[in-house]
Every structure is written in structure tokens, then in C-alpha cells.
Amino acid sequence: MDALFDRHQSTLASALKAAQERGYWSAYPETPSGKIYGETAKDDGLASYNARLAKPFDLPDHPGTGKVGTEVSPFGSALGITYPASDASTLVAASQTAAPAWAIATVKTRTGICLEVLTRLNHLSFEIANAVMHTTGQAFAMAFQAGGPHAQDRGLEAVAYAFAEITRTPAQAVWIKPQGKAESIVLQKHWRVVPRGVSLVIGCQTFPTWNSYPGLFASLATGNTVIVKPHPGAILPLAITISVIRQVLAEEGFDPNIALLAADAPGAEITRDLVENDAVRIIDYTGSSSFGDWVRKNAGEAKVYTEEAGVNSIVVAATDDFAGMCANLAFSLSLYSGQMCTAPQNIYVPRSGIDTNEGHKSFDDVARGVAAAIDDLLADPARAAGVCGAIANPATLGRIEKARSLGTLIRDSAPINAGDTRTATPLVLGVDADQTNAHEEERFGPIAFIVAVADASDGIVKAASLARRKGAITAALYDTDGTRIEDAVDAFCAAGVNLSINLTGGIFVNQSAAFSDFHVTGANPAGNASLTDAAFVANRFRIVMWRQPKAA
Amino acid sequence: MDALFDRHQSTLASALKAAQERGYWSAYPETPSGKIYGETAKDDGLASYNARLAKPFDLPDHPGTGKVGTEVSPFGSALGITYPASDASTLVAASQTAAPAWAIATVKTRTGICLEVLTRLNHLSFEIANAVMHTTGQAFAMAFQAGGPHAQDRGLEAVAYAFAEITRTPAQAVWIKPQGKAESIVLQKHWRVVPRGVSLVIGCQTFPTWNSYPGLFASLATGNTVIVKPHPGAILPLAITISVIRQVLAEEGFDPNIALLAADAPGAEITRDLVENDAVRIIDYTGSSSFGDWVRKNAGEAKVYTEEAGVNSIVVAATDDFAGMCANLAFSLSLYSGQMCTAPQNIYVPRSGIDTNEGHKSFDDVARGVAAAIDDLLADPARAAGVCGAIANPATLGRIEKARSLGTLIRDSAPINAGDTRTATPLVLGVDADQTNAHEEERFGPIAFIVAVADASDGIVKAASLARRKGAITAALYDTDGTRIEDAVDAFCAAGVNLSINLTGGIFVNQSAAFSDFHVTGANPAGNASLTDAAFVANRFRIVMWRQPKAA
């Protein structure tokens, strides 16, 4: 029963060590290379993806009374895949039926199964990349990395934290209490891990796997059954995931309904029914703050872990690499057309400009520098497509349209190729800090504001205050003044937002690496949890004891 | 600044080891002995307590616009002590003012201060024992143990868990990501612990220190400021506690308002105002389920940790020590007149009786055996007073009165000495299992039901089901059948209740030892948290990062 655990034990050990030390480590190679994944892996993955299209998705023995599925690739055509559909109570009942055997499985059994699932998902990374690409609009390279290996790393991280948390309490101990000259009292104590119950994972459209795997694997590894409710526009990546989990569960003799897919149709979502079901005891949610607020208020006694939305800011105070800074910002603004929860929206620049290695730059110089760097980055349409991908949700295009009038146009948004209806390069607007109605609202997508502030310190104060009030997942600072950098660290720490300082070259504020960067702090309105820390896993199970006298 | 940490480091190390191994360990001796605490400690403690009476409690620099205090000893006279009184917003504002310096103090500084506080509280154990005795009605020995050293152990346990949780993430790490043949990306990363904010601890009357110290010290050790809201009937033990914390804080250069006392008057409690204050981000609550329900629903975004109420059960299936079992049950029912959250209420006995070392015993034999053992235990009034103590709240006496008619009288409740108005020995009633209106409600105080069930397995099923539905903190089983014991373990584990099996002699189902027994599982309605596990501390703070490029 522990063969899977034994097979993957060294991966787990490395993951535990990495999570402890928090240097760079990854279990699943991020390079979509034939040398790593096999020379035919890329073609095979595409073929597997294509074979999924225009037919029902096969999930043996999955409950379902109907079929749903209306996914359309942001790059073009409808996927034409249908998935089994059930109402919430049917799914919850099936989950509860599957629960007892999973609850009493050993930590090694559950951990082994989770690690085997992750390994198989890794082998499917090319197929998953295509699935992610054609549901989210991510360009292929990003869909591969973020949807495949990076998501798998985040899943492994959750499994490792769960394993550490479960095993830190011994399964048994002998308790010997001295009684002076009388005989000691001796008790044999046993502790058992008891999962909370049914766990619900609510996915988002833009990162269906990366954002769902932590909660999914944390709940599975701690003995809970899981119902995954994908965004109706991005079901396929999670359907493949659930399919693999069910396959391994069945092979190991478990009821595959330990992992269920709650596919639904736009406008007829079953999310609220699932959230309000009393048997659902854990909810992982990624999505808008408005629905997140509803989930938090209507979850009853369920433990709720959210990643919601915020407004991410960058403060430009000074730099000794003006070109490198502009190039770095350009990439951060353009990557996946600003549809990352980590993408910056506001760039605070002193009205009087900044000191740089290229001499003093006025506010307009900085704004133009960033705009020019975006133009450079996206000059070649093929490269632009590889950076920006496509727009996942047409509403984002409407948002760009409306945003144009909110400030001075510094750089206009445009399709990558004339006539594209689902691509959009960054819109960059200049505003004054007091135009808070413009820049202090989250405007999801490729929309950025260069915000004029009194000076660098004012920018730090305003950005930190905004993070504290509206939430933020990332913040960045460009500065050369050590004292001001320390003040910024204090301000952003107090606002609960992770800060990147003076990034240039091939590392970006948007990027959050498993085993090192805690994604979301849980300390401001952008989310109430962090991927992955002890608090993310420790309350997914409880410890129950039995004790009895033992002969001394 | 770390002198206090250095002074107490070995205690912390032992606590961490004990919490990991979960064998017997205690930092603070539970024996109220002159040899341990000093030959004059008992007299000095009483003198200190007496010196507190009939005057304002001195809390230098504590905010307060008025005075409150109406404590009356269950053993007699009014305490006559008044405490500074403020409204909720004044207390929260003072707490917030004190917060920033505490938030950025190092883990060693905060841990050192907490450990020094616990040491000083230990030296005040005799004074605290008198304070606990005369607010709760506990007999002196219990007031000393539970109110003093055992509470201090629970506080230390929380500090140890907080320390472990904070220090498991390094303060910094170097992240080196290989880039093939190109230069590696190297980031220096730093992590800072950021507390949640203002923490509110809502105490209960029966165990003002034991139940409050875990949340109080967990919040303090993780950098939060704390407002302690005692039960209006049991302020003094927590006022002494707050006084010591403020003294150590002031000595170490901190604003003493990091720890505040929210004393209020019966009928004019400020608890709701505190709970509803948005700045309160953590709430630890011990008390009734009805108010607990209100707290959970009205706490907004605050993290809430509760110990509420339930109905604790014992199943008597068989025993090889009938006399020992009856004596053990008698003590569990009598101790502090059933006013412990861990005291049993229902004793399930097969209608056809049980097999014992004394031969078959009918249902009535078992009932009479328990009743006779109570009579034996409490035959001597002085000993009875030492076991039962006094009734904390007169409402409990009314509850006994009303309960008499709920079943067949097996043993009547009575004052320990004729004329006592605040003592009551256990009332024991016989009921059939189907009289659920009688025994399936929590009836706090010295009220017990011997419940007739079809057989032992039926008793196990009914007791576990009740725990799952209404909550339970403890359960016990007497049985000699290994298979049935295993089934009971499964049933009570699934119901989230800690189970004691075949206890006889000097160990009782009511007892929960720090560093070994997790008190409350958080897995049934009796509470949503456990004292103390990782989940109890890990979400009281968040981790925030800053990162910057580092030369390779």
C-alpha cells in the first residue's frame, strides 16, 4: 500500500527541505524541451489535446445526469467538449460516500497517491499546456510553465506542507506522570488525523491549475474528499487533472469519487449551492473580491481560503539602470496582457522626475521610457503573441475601452495583429495621484497608470495605503536610497504585500516561485490565505486522541 | 534585549521537545508545597489576595474613565475590588497605539517577555489560587493547580507553538535559479512576521486563567496586542495576569497597553462592541454555544477560536474493576460540582446490565454503584468541600432544581453542609435512551443521567452521534472487548471527541494535560479550535517578503 510513497519519497524529502530553506528548487522541469520530456512529447501532447476536442470528456463512473461544456479558445474556435453535469447535492452525496475510506487511509497512502498523481500530471504537461492555452488565452510557453510544472510544484508544495503538519504529532506516546512515592500514572495515548470533510475548490479562468492545485492537493493529502468547481470557461485543464486523480485512486482501490468535477454552464453555475451546502467544510476560492466576499459570508462553518483581487503598485524613486528598469516594467505589464493576479497596475513616479544612471528623467521621460520599452518588446508580432497571449474574457476588452478616457494617453492598447479580436497590448495612462477614481480601482487586464506623486516617499505611502485598503499581491520599488528602501520595506510589510526591489533582467515582479515565495500574504484584502504556509494546511484536519492505562 | 529569552531558553527548549513527543511534562510544579514555592508562599499568597480586597485594583497607566467590579465569592462575601473601565473603542485605540513597536519586536524579545511573565505568574500561584477560588468556586487545591501551574503550562505550550511556527520560515535566504549557460538569477529574499492586529480574549467564569492563557499568550508571542475581556464574575485572576504582563512590558521599554483589561459589569458587558470592532482581528472565546454562535457570525474578518459547550458521555460496556470504575466516575461527576467543560453528563449503560469482575451487574446495580461511590467520596464534609468546591453561578442551582423531574431519581443533589446556599453534590437521574429531551441537552453543573441503552454498541453509537450533533469535549468507555473498543475508537474519532478508556485510580476523564492532551479537537460543535496545535497559532501572524537582486 505504501509502494507509491516509497517511489516518490526522495521527491517529498527534497520538497520538505526546499520549503524549509526557501532557496530555489523545483521538482518538475519548466523547460518544454524534448530532451527532458521526450522527443515526441510536444507532438504527443498536442495530439492528445486534439483528440479531446468535440466529444464528451471521459470520466469513468463520475456522477452526472447531464452534459455541459461551452468552452471557446481565446485563440479561435469552440472546444466542443462536454463534461458530466450534476447538481450540488448529488456531488456532495457522492463525495460523502467516498469519504470514510479516504479518511482512514494512512498518511503514507494518501501522500503516495498525491505524489503519483503529480508525476503523471507532469508527464501530461504538454497536453495540459494546450488545454490551459486554449481556455485561458495564455501563450504556449506560459501555459506550459504556469499550467504545468509550476502548478505541479505548487501542488507538491501543498502535499509537503500537509505531510509535515500531519507527522509533527506522533501517532502514539506513553505518558508517565510521577506520583511522588506512589506508583506513576501511565497512559498509552494514540492520536488520529481526522479530516474536516468535503472540500470545495473553486477555480478561476486565468490560472485553472496553478491556483487550484494548492487547495486541491492540501485537502486530498489531509484526507478530505474534493469537489473541483472550475470556471465554466476553463474546465478542461481541471477535468484532465481530476481524471488523473480518479485513475490513480481507482488503481489503489479507492472510490474515484474522492475527487469530483463540478462542471457547470455560464449563467447556471452551481457554485452557490456548493458553498451553502453544510457538508462542505473547506473552501478554496480564487476569483473576484465581490464573489469572494459572498463566499466568505455564506460559507457557514467551512474554513475558507481565498485569493481575491487587489491593485498592485510599483514605486519608481530612482534607478541606476533606467533602460533595464523600463524593459523589466514593460515585460511585467505585457505578460499575458496583464491578466495575472500579480501584474502591476499603478506605477508611482514623482512629479519632478527621478535620478537615473542616464541623468535626471522627468515624469514624462519615465512614462515615455516605459511606453517605448513596451513598443520595443512587442514590435515583432510573433514575439508579442508569445508574451501577451490572448484575452481570456471579452469583458476585459470592454474594460480597456472604457479606461481610455481615465487619464492622459501615454501608450494605446491595440490588437497584436490588425483585426485580432482577442489580443490587446498594454494601455498606459498618465494620471495625477488625486485622480483616485481612475487608478485606485482594480482594472483587470492590460491597463496601467503612471501616477504622478509629490515625491518617492509619497509614492511609497500611497502605494502601501492602497494595498492595505484595496489589497495587493505584489509591489515593486526602484530606488537607490538605502534609507528610503528600508522605509518602503516597513511600509509594504505593514500593508501585508510582498515587495520586489530593483528587478531587472530575467526576473519579474509577477513571478512567484513555489518553495520560496509565499504567494499572497493573507494580510490584506487581496486574499485571506497564503500559498503555501502552515496555516494553509494545519486546519484542514483535526487530531483526535484515545488514551488508556498501560502497565507501568 | 534578549536577556529574558536567554534566561528562559532551556524552559522553551524543554517545552518544544515535550510538545513534539507528547509524553508527560510540566514546567510549573502542580503541588502547592512550601518546599517548592517557599515555606511562606501559601501565607504570603493569601495575604496578597486579602490586600487586594475592598479597594481599586492598581493597573498603572491603564486607560479607564470609570470603575467597575461586582465580584462575589461563591464561598461568601463580596470582593469589593474595582477595576478601570473603558468603552470598547477607547481600549481598541489604546491597543492600536501600542501595536507598532510590539509588531516589529524580534521573536526572541517577545518570546522572552512571555516566558518571564509566565515565571512571575508561577511565583504568584498562591495569590492567583485564592483569586481563582473566590471567583470560580473551585476548592483551593484545584484553584491552585488549574488556575496556577496548569494554566501556566498551557500558556507556555502556546508560546512554544508560536515560537516553532514563527521560526520554521527562515528570516532570509538566497535564491539562485540556474539559467542554462547564462548567468544564474540570484535574489536575496527576506521574510518578516507581521501580526494580525488587535487580539481579543473573552474569558469564562469557571476557568478564567486556564482557558484564557492559550489564546492570550499565542497572540502576544506572535506580535499581536491583546485585550482581555474577563467574565464580570471572575475578573481578578485575569487582572493579576494583565498586571504582571504590563509590568514586564514596561520594564522592557514597551507600552504596557500591549495588554489591556476590558473589565465590565454584568448587564453592561462591552463584549459585543469589542467583537464587532473592525480593528479586532483575532478572537479567542470560551463560553456558551449560544453566545459563541453570535461571536462566530459577527466577528467579520477576525479569526475566531472557540471553546463552546457540549454533552460529554461515558459508555459503560463491561469492566474488570467495578469498584474502581464507580469510584472513578464518582470523582469525575463530583469534581468542581460538574462545572468543568470536560465533566461527563451522560453515562450509557445497557438495559440488561454488564459483565464485571464482580459478576453480572444489572442496570440498576450500575446506577446504584455509581451513586454509592459518590456518597462514599463525599461522606466527609471537609473532603466533599475539597472535591466539589462551590457553585460559581446561582443559575446552576436553579438548573439542578429543574432537572430533578427529568428522570428517575438515583441520587439527589444536596448542599455539602445543611444550609449551604452555594454548594451542591451531584444529582444522578435514570432515563431511557429515548428520553432525549432530558439527556441530550447540555445541563451544566452537577447533573448526570444514567441512560439505558439496548446494548454497549448502541451506547457507543448514541454517544458518538450526540457528540457529533451537539458537541463533546470528552468521552469515556469502560469495556473489556477488544473489538468493541476498536469500534468505539473509530466512532468517537469520527465524531471528533477525545476518548479515555478504562480509567481507574488517580486519572480522570476530566483531566487534560498540557503538552500531551490536545484540549478540544475543533472537530465537533464543542469548539472550533484546539489547545494548542499548529492551527491555533499559525494564522495569528502572516509572513511578508521583500526580495532584491544579489550579485552572484
Round to whole Å and give the CA distance between A107 and A163. Answer: 7
All three cell numbers of A217, joined, read 492537493
A234/A232 Cα distance (integer angstroms): 6
What single-letter DSSP state applies at residue A133?
H
CB-CB under 8 Å, A533 with B521: no
Question: Residue type at A327?
Answer: A
Q: Which domains does chain A have, with CATH numbers?
A: 26-309+535-546 (3.40.605.10), 313-501 (3.40.309.10)
pLDDT digits (tens, 9 = 90+) for B366-394: 999 999 999 999 999 999 999 999 999 99
Q: What is the pLDDT of residues B266-284, one digit of tens each?
A: 999 999 999 999 999 999 9
Q: Give the C-alpha distances (Å, rounded to integers) separating A408 from A368, A369, A404, A442, A475.
A: 12, 15, 8, 18, 23
Contact B191 A22 (CB under 8 A): yes
φ/ψ of A481, rounded to 5, equals -95, 110
Quick one: average pLDDT of A257-281? 97
Q: Which residues of B touch A173 (CB under 8 A)?
A: 21-23, 516
Shortest Cα distance from A517 to chain B (angstroms)?
A: 8
- CA-nearest residue of chain B to A488? B546
Distance CA A83, CA A236 (A): 9
Whole-angstrom distance, CA of residue B209 vs CA of residue A193: 29
Contact A492 B103 (CB under 8 A): no
Q: ipTM of this model?
A: 0.96
* Helices vs. strands in chain B: H and E counts, helices first: 20, 20
Residue A425: other Cβ atoms inside 10 A: 24
Pairing of strands B182-195, B541-549: antiparallel
Decide if B54 touches A, using CB distance below 8 A. Answer: no
Q: Are A466 and A435 spatial neighbours (Cβ–Cβ below 8 Å)?
A: no
| Alpha carbons B296 and B304: distance in angstroms, whole number | 7
Dump pLDDT digits (tens) for A424-465.
999 999 999 999 999 999 999 999 999 999 999 999 999 999
Query: Tens of pLDDT along B122-146?
Result: 999 999 999 999 999 999 999 999 9
Q: B1 falls in which pLDDT band (50, 70, 90)?
A: low
CA separation for the pair A132, A209 (Å, rounded): 8
pLDDT at residue B552 is higher than 90: no
Residues of chain A numbered 155-194 and touching chain B (CB < 8 Å): 165, 168-170, 173-179, 182, 185, 187, 189-192, 194
Q: Which residues does A434 contact at the CB level (< 8 Å), separation at least 6?
A: none
pLDDT tens, A270-309?
Answer: 999 999 999 999 999 999 999 999 999 999 999 999 999 9
Q: Between chains, do A175 and B498 touch, taking CB under 8 Å as contact?
A: no
Cell digits of residue A537: 494546511
Residue B102: partners with Cβ closer than 8 Å, 6 or more residues away: B110, B195, B223, B224, B225, B254, B255, B258
Residues 6+ apart with CB under 8 A from A209: A128, A132, A146, A147, A148, A151, A237, A238, A241
Cβ-defined contact of B301 to A191 (cutoff 8 Å):
no
Contacts of B24 in chain A (CB under 8 A): 175-178
Contacts with A100 from chain B: Cβ below 8 Å: 494
Strand bridging mode A198-202 / A225-229: parallel
Q: Do B173 and A21 touch (CB under 8 A)?
A: yes
Residue A40 CB: number of other CB atoms within 10 A?
11
pLDDT of residue B551: 79
State how far the alpha carbon of A466 is from the alpha carbons of A342, A470, A498, A516, in Å: 15, 6, 14, 26
Query: Is the CB of A279 inside 8 Å of chain B's CB atoms?
Result: no
The span from the CA of A255 to the CA of A232, in Å, is 26
Q: What is the mean pLDDT of residues A139-151?
A: 98
Cβ atoms of A159 and A129 within 8 Å: the answer is no
Query: What are the start-end ranges of the H helices in B252-377?
Result: 271-276, 289-298, 322-334, 363-377
Q: How many CB atoms lie within 10 A of CB A123?
A: 16
Task: Work out the minimum CA distance from A218 to partner chain B, whole angstroms.
Answer: 14
Chain A window 284-343: which residues touch B at a Cβ cutoff of 8 Å?
296, 301
Under 8 Å between Cβ of A174 and A550: yes
The DSSP bridge partners found for residue B79 are: none
Q: Do A542 and B496 touch (CB under 8 A)?
A: yes
Cross-chain Cβ contact B189/A22 below 8 Å: yes
Contact between A408 and A453 under an 8 Å Cβ cutoff? The reply is no
What does B228-275 look like in DSSP terms, one character per residue?
EE--TTS-HHHHHHHHHHHHHHHHTT--GGGEEE---BTTB--HHHHH
Q: How would DSSP label each residue in A66-114?
A: EEE---B-TTSSB---BEEE--HHHHHHHHHHHHHHHHHS-HHHHHHHH
Residue B324 in grid coordinates: 474502581
- pLDDT at A551 (0 to 100): 79
Tell me the mean pLDDT in the region B147-156. 98
β-pair type (B427-432, A427-432): unpaired
Residue A1 has pLDDT above 80, yes or no: no
* Mean pLDDT value across chain B: 97
Q: Which of A22, A490, A537, A541 to mutate to test the interface with B (most CBs of B within 10 A)?
A: A22
* Phi/psi at B550 (5° precision): -130, 140
Strand ranges inside B368-503, DSSP E = 408-411, 427-432, 447-453, 474-478, 498-501
| A503 contacts B549? CB cut-off 8 A | yes
pLDDT tier for residue B222 given thresholds of 50, 70 and 90 = very high
**What is the Cα gyration radius of chain B?**
25
Subunit contact B547:A517, Cβ cutoff 8 A: yes
Residue A4, pLDDT > 90, answer: yes
Confidence band (pLDDT; 50, 70, 90) for A552? low
Question: Could you tell me if A241 and A228 are in contact, meaning their C-beta atoms sit under 8 angstroms apart?
Answer: yes
| Cell reading at A112 | 503516495
Q: Which three cell numbers stand for residue B551?
A: 550579485
**Does a cis peptide bond (omega within 30 degrees of 0) precede residue A135?**
no
Structure confidence at residue A54 (pLDDT): 98
Is A546's CB within 8 Å of B500's CB? yes
CA-to-CA separations, B88 to A412, B91, B299, in angstroms, rounded: 52, 5, 14
Sign of the CA dihedral B287, B288, B289, B293? negative
Single-letter residue type at A92: V
Q: Give the C-alpha separation, A350 to A357, whole Å.
A: 17
Distance CA B292, CA B290 (A): 5
Q: Does B548 touch chain A (CB under 8 A)?
A: yes
In angstroms and rounded to an integer, the radius of gyration of the C-alpha atoms of chain A is: 25
Q: What is the pLDDT of residues A159-211, one digit of tens each?
A: 999 999 999 999 999 999 999 999 999 999 999 999 999 999 999 999 999 99
Say if CB B222 and CB B539 are below 8 A apart.
no
Residue A513, C-alpha cell as written in the block: 516561485
pLDDT at residue B175 greater than cutoff 80: yes
